[in-house]
């Protein structure tokens, strides 16, 4: 469930990094963490779970480190994850055998 409270500074930094992922690409929770100087992919996931700015902050573009879809709307499987897959495919992300195609993986930073 999304919170009505204002985002913390940490959540705001997660949301800003998430908005930098272009349509047709995905990043991992760990990628986002590294981009903002946080070593906890889990903390990034928890911040995205509370994302009050979707779809402008496209948390559906964030996946697990092995490029599996991971969770969505706080759910690890079921209709929400199927919706995440549909949203990604609509943006041009290829999903093969339950994983995002490696060439759809966005890298943050110089030389990305």
Query: Which residue, 15, 29, 112, is CA-closest to 67?
Result: 29
> At CA 99, angle to CA 93 and CA 103, rounded to 5?
50
**Which residues have a catalytic role annotated?**
59
Buried residues in 61-79 as b, exposed as e (16+ CB within 10 A): bbbbeebebbbbbeeeeee
């Amino acid at each position: 469930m999304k919170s009505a409270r204002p985002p913390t500074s940490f959540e705001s930094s997660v949301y800003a990094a998430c908005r930098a992922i272009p349509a047709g690409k995905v990043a991992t929770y760990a990628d986002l963490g590294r981009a903002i100087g946080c070593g906890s992919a889990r903390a990034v996931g928890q911040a995205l779970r509370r994302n009050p700015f979707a779809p402008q902050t496209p948390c559906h573009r964030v996946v697990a480190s092995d490029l599996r879809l991971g969770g969505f709307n706080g759910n690890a499987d079921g209709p929400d994850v199927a919706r995440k897959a549909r949203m990604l495919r609509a943006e041009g992300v290829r999903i093969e055998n339950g994983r995002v195609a490696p060439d759809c993986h966005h890298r943050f930073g110089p030389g990305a």
